[in-house]
Amino acid sequence: FVGNSTYLDDHGPPPQKVLPFPSQVVYNRVGKCGSRTVVLLLRILSEKHGFNLVTSDIHNKTRLTKSEQMELIKNISTAEQPYLFTRHVHFLNFSRFGGDQPVYINIIRDPVNRFLSNYFFRRFGDWRGEQNHMIRTPSMRQEERYLDINVCILENYPECSNPRLFYIIPYFCGQHPRCREPGEWALERAKLNVNENFLLVGILEELEDVLLLLERFLPHYFKDVLSIYKNPEHRKLGNLTVTVKKTVPSPEAIQILYQRMRYEYEFYYYVKEQFHLLKRKFGLKSHVRKPRPRPEFFIPSPLETEEPIDDEEEDDEKWLEDIYKR
């Protein structure tokens, strides 16, 4: 009798939402490696493609206690899928706490350039602050703010020596206490995690190729990312994020930094080599210039990708709305 038939009789159960694979992505972004630029793009992409962008308000807590790790993993794992979670946090092993291990992505850059960018950014901010007469890190004492970078390095101030300089590797090594100690153990564990848990670790100096590969590997998240990035309005926005008052240390100081960061460089070159192998596999050419003799090799060039926007300022959403209203 037709009158008694239900929707289920005629149509079967309502269709389930088909999730893309992977549907759980974590971008545990490394500070001063273009992450603010990428997060701006992700905001636009999440609206365009309908994935759940989960960001964190915590910007300065990368190391977590065991209970904090469990809590964060639980919170991330219960987010609506497909999600992309992003935060400055050292690698978290979800499977250790019984969760599904998500796919990780990240971007790193030349370690000395990253350090210099951070050193001057902490003191003077970027062009937006300059225009608004804002001072970065208001609590910083004047003598510290104007501390000459060469003095800091040559006289071994804490900010310019280990363990502060051992910065990139812990993002890939993880939460183990030994991950904070500059050495082979942390380096090898970081490489292992890159191989086993990271879909892609890109190089900021080749950001357009990073975006191309992300678009290819994770289309549900990154489709059209390159055209959005190349949009002249977005480029204009990026120019406001260049760190100001950046000066180049002396050759002697740079050589000392290089020695102190030898593990960081070994990791950086390893990641760069893997990234270039991946590019070749997908037909992207790497324009490998002959390395210039040190120390000029470390001097930031005008071709560098723009600085990321600082994570503590959230006023960029307003600009995005204005720029991308269609």
Residue 119: closest CA among 91, 97, 151: 151
8-49 residue pLDDT tens: 555 665 556 688 889 999 999 999 999 989 999 999 999 999
Kindly indicate the confidence band of residue 297, based on its pLDDT and cuts at 50, 70 and 90: very low
For the whole model, what pTM was predicted? 0.81
Question: Considering the chain, what percentage of its residues have pLDDT values greater than 90?
Answer: 64
116-171 residue pLDDT tens: 999 988 888 764 444 443 456 778 888 899 999 999 999 999 999 998 999 999 99
Sheet arrangement for strand 52-55: 52-55, 83-86, 24-27, 103-108, 198-203
Is residue 254 helix, strand or coil?
Answer: helix
pLDDT at 307 exceeding the cut of 70:
no
Is residue 27 helix, strand or coil?
Answer: strand
Mean pLDDT for all residues in the chain: 83
Over range 105-119, report the average pLDDT: 95
Distance CA 110, CA 127 (A): 22
272-294 residue pLDDT tens: 999 999 999 999 887 655 554 44
160 residue type, one letter: C
Mark out the alpha helices in 132-261 (DSSP H runs).
Answer: 142-145, 149-154, 169-173, 184-197, 207-217, 219-222, 225-230, 232-239, 251-260
pLDDT for 250 equals 95
The yes-or-no answer on residue 49 being catalytic is no
Distance of CA 64 to the CA centre of its chain: 18
Q: Which residues, in sequence order, are CB contacts of 279 under 8 Å at separation 6+?
A: 206, 209, 213, 285, 286
pLDDT at 237 exceeding the cut of 50:
yes
pLDDT for 291 equals 52
String of DSSP letters for 269-300: HHHHHHHHHHHHHTTPPP--PPPPPTTGGGSP
pLDDT at 3 exceeding the cut of 60:
no
187-214 residue pLDDT tens: 999 999 999 999 999 999 999 999 999 9
Kindly indicate the confidence band of residue 232, based on its pLDDT and cuts at 50, 70 and 90: confident
243-265 residue pLDDT tens: 656 788 999 999 999 999 999 99
pLDDT for 317 equals 42
pLDDT for 22 equals 93
Distance of CA 278 to the CA centre of its chain: 19
Residue 289's φ and ψ, nearest 5 degrees, are -85, 150
Tell me the domains of the chain and their CATH numbers.
24-283 (3.40.50.300)
Over range 297-324, report the average pLDDT: 40
Given the residues 88, 176, 220, 276, the one annotated as active site: 88
